Chain A
Amino acid sequence: MENTNNNQMKNEMFESVENSAKPGAVIKAEPSNIPVSGKSKSIAVKHKKTKMSNIIFNIVNITIFSILALLCIYPFYYMIINTISANDLSANGFVNFIPHKIHFKNYTDVMKIKGIGTAALISLARTLLGTFCTVFASAFLGYMFTRAKLWMRTFWYRFFVITMYFNAGIIPMYITMKNLHLTDNFLVYILPAIVSPFSIVLVKTYIESIPESLCEAAELEGANFFEVFLHIILPLSKPILATVAIFSIVGQWNSFQDTLLYITNQSLYSLQYLLYTYINQASSLAALVHNSGIQAAANIATQQTPTSIRMTVSVIVVLPILFVYPIFQKFFIKGIMIGSVKS
């Protein structure tokens, strides 16, 4: 809702400032008339007006962007302060801006729920392993496709990149995974993600900007293509590999569809899928807590409610992203710039 309001505001502002900005055009039309006193006065007034409109524009612009930023960041803040505030307060909607009666019992309790530990491990494992594989594969393939000697290079490059533009669809994919015995298998998280055509294109574009003479010199020194890759290309392409890594980390950690499609074994559920089932089983969550034996120790102030569990799990799920995100931000903006220059 607020989004549309903002846009309306933006448009109104656009029109109003455009109208008041017209004096600038007058100045442009008569630049040589400055010595004439009357006109110069009017120009000065108009200058003032332009300045005023500029200031108004800046204020409105900054306000709108602040509101947008707040809209994006507040939900996370809201969830975090509610999970660390006393549950009876947060359940009644008293915790909206500042946390009250801070405690971390929600977290220690949620950790005791059966399944969360395994799910967190699965999510962590697939993120680390999957990211490592994807980054290595993208770097290696991106490098190989810059080597002119590679047998049928153009053909293989197309062979990889064209897969960006078609897919067989959910059902054929499911049938394939079933035939390959990858359903209910941890490898289904890793193997299909290893070759990522988009990352390959990114890395290849970047490596092409590294002077060819560096590789040639190393080859003259007797290094084979793999040594060149390991000792020259890898260290030099760190920024783009960081970009690929962040994409991969986020993709792996957030991935939900593959668990939904291919996994029925509960011990292989990822954190995302577990969170989804929790949100959907709002009513049965209380029972879940009862069964875990947490209730016995809980007093009235920190009593578990379905909402508090849901929120706590959500925060646990989103926290790694919140941590990783600022670290890599500078890298992926750089990476996107490379990508946009390419396209």
Chain B
Amino acid sequence: MSEFDKNEGLDEEFEKNLSKLQSKVESLEDERLSPEEKQEKIEKGLLDAVKDIDKGLKDLNSKTEEEANSSVKEEVPKKLIKDPETLNLNNFSKVDEMGEGEDSPINDEPKPVRKKKESIFKAPEVDPNEGWVNDAPAANAVQTEFVVTNKSKTGTIGFKMFLAILPFVILTLLFSYFPLHGWIYAFFDYKPPIKLSDSEFVGLRWFKMLFGNSVQIKQMAQVLINTFAMSFIGIATSILPMLFAVFLNEIKSEKFKNLIQTFTALPNFISWVMVYSIAFCLFSDSGMINTLLNNAGIITTPIKFLDSDSHTYLWMTLWSIWKGLGWGAIMYLAAITTIDPELFEAAKVEGGTRFQLMRYITIPSIMPTFMVLLMMAIANFLNNGIDQYYVFQNSFNKEHIQVLDLYVYNVGMTGSSLSLAAAISMLKSIISVVLLTMVNFVSKKTRGESII
């Protein structure tokens, strides 16, 4: 006999003794009571028991009725419920109608089959000793109906649920799928007031034109270089939020940590217009930096920070780091909190130093998050967005700030041709999807899970 079993035996014995003692105490108490009190107590107990039983019965009854109602509610007019027989018959035909009308084209579940009452009448068999079920024919009938419609009910309710989300499906169709039809404008010579049907079909003219003459090629090349440079710098600096999180995690004071997190994540929540406004406040001719330098006598003519094309890539990168660093770190901080603290404890006991802990525990643990974000960044290589570059662009830095998205906007909305812009738009979207698929494939191969 094992230690454990012995213990169990002891436990049992203990419990037995306990219950004995309890009953003894009760009987002693009873003896102390007068006969009248005893009588009262027994009566009260009996009453309570009866009440309990009554309540249970009521609950069960109402529940069955509710169930039945809920299944009947949408399918049968209310008055039918009064008569169990008609209810039954009518319901069978009703259910069949529903099945054919709504379910069959969309649902591969079998249609409800008319079955004999007894074969599907399961509820009473569960508890044959309880009289109440047999005493209530209405409940029986309703119960039967419930079982029969159960299968088709799933389908109908499922379809009803679909009808409930249909408005959102339509919205998505309109604003995510339907715009794809805009790609056909890339094959026409579309000039806005004229309808598409009256426009001339030009085939691949716009695509050829993109690389047609040397001026166009040069411009396109510059735009692509800008796009690639910004994206590449963006990916290269995506390690900063990770380092930020790792080093912030080394701060022991929770309050200070939260404060830093709150402050550094704040710029992420303002728009690029606002960022530009701040840049203007600090770096314009009459901005803070120039005024300070001027007052200190270091410069006499204001330095052109914004209205120049020097270090455009660097400036853009700095602004996106300023805006995104703290927020980007939150993802990693969340990942760090999921690391098992015992891992750190064990490493500390082994004499691991702070940097060893960071190097061998923290960083490897958040590597998966980094990889996912890296893959997403690569998939979005061509999608720099338009906001940042649009607000910072001016006639001085146009050459180096114009990324693909901005170029599309400039060509299509302010420039020459909507159709040419649509062509570039289309090429960009297709290349993006191809990139995403490739990255996803690589992710599946290397990490064993897809990023989509």
Contact = CB atoms under 8 A, between A and B. Distances in A.
Interface stretch (B9-17, B87-95, B120-128, B256-264): B256-264
A326 B387 CA distance: 25
B313 interface: no
Contact of B266 (A72, A167, A256): A72
Interface string B147-183: 0000000110111111011001101101111111111
Interface in A162-201: 162-163, 165-176, 180, 191-192, 194-195
The interface size bin for chain B is 35 or more
A96 B292 CA distance: 9
Contact of B181 (A58, A172, A326): A172
B272 interface: yes
Given A75-B278, A151-B155, A166-B429, A144 B164 contact: yes
A222 B318 contact: no
B185 interface: yes
A288 interface: no
B271 interface: yes
Contacts, number: 301
A298 interface: no
B405 A340 contact: no
| Size category, A interface | 35 or more
Given A3-B318, A72-B326, A165 B433 contact: yes
Interface string A299-310: 000000001001
A175 B240 CA distance: 39
Interface string A146-166: 010111100010011011011
B99 interface: no
Contacts of B63: 220-221
Contacts of A254: 269-271, 273-274
Nearest to B68: A222
Contacts of B178: 176
A64 to B, nearest CB: 8
B442 to A, nearest CB: 16
B270 A156 contact: no
A61 B281 contact: no
A52 interface: no
A3 B277 contact: no
Contacts of A3: 318, 321-322, 325
Interface stretch (A22-30, A208-216, A235-243): A22-30
A340 B335 contact: yes
Interface string A212-231: 00000001111111100000
Contact of A166 (B175, B335, B433): B433
A28 B271 contact: no
A176 B418 CA distance: 13
A321 B260 CA distance: 18
A17 interface: yes
Interface stretch (A112-120, A272-280, A289-297): A272-280
B381 interface: no
Contacts of B175: 176, 191-192, 195
Task: Specify which of B159, B425, B428 lies most central, judged by the most chain A CB atoms within 10 Å of its CB.
Answer: B425
Interface in B245-270: 247-248, 250-251, 256, 259-267, 269-270
A170 B425 contact: yes
B106 interface: yes
Contacts of B264: 65, 68-69, 72
A325 B269 contact: yes
Contacts of A286: none
A276 to B, nearest CB: 5
B423 to A, nearest CB: 9
Contact of B162 (A150, A173, A276): A150
A172 B180 contact: yes
Contacts of B248: 65
A163 B277 contact: no
Given A159-B169, A169-B408, A171-B185, A75 B355 contact: no
B391 interface: yes
Interface in B98-114: 106-107
A129 to B, nearest CB: 15
B303 to A, nearest CB: 12
Interface in A74-92: 75-76, 78-79, 82, 91-92
Interface stretch (B75-83, B136-144, B211-219, B346-354): B346-354
Contact of B334 (A173, A221, A275, A337): A337
Nearest to B285: A282
Interface in A222-266: 222-226, 250, 253-257, 260-261
Contacts of A69: 259-260, 263-264
Contact of A68 (B106, B174, B260, B353): B260
22 contacts: A1-B318, A18-B355, A21-B353, A24-B353, A25-B356, A27-B351, A68-B244, A93-B294, A150-B162, A159-B172, A169-B422, A169-B425, A170-B412, A171-B422, A172-B181, A172-B426, A220-B67, A254-B269, A254-B270, A261-B409, A322-B266, A343-B451
Interface of A: 1, 3-4, 7, 10, 14, 17-18, 21-22, 24-25, 27-28, 31, 50, 54, 57-58, 61-62, 64-66, 68-73, 75-76, 78-79, 82, 91-93, 96, 137, 140-141, 144, 147, 149-152, 156, 159-160, 162-163, 165-176, 180, 191-192, 194-195, 219-226, 250, 253-257, 260-261, 272-273, 275-276, 279, 307, 310-311, 314, 317-318, 321-322, 325-326, 329, 333, 336-337, 340-341, 343
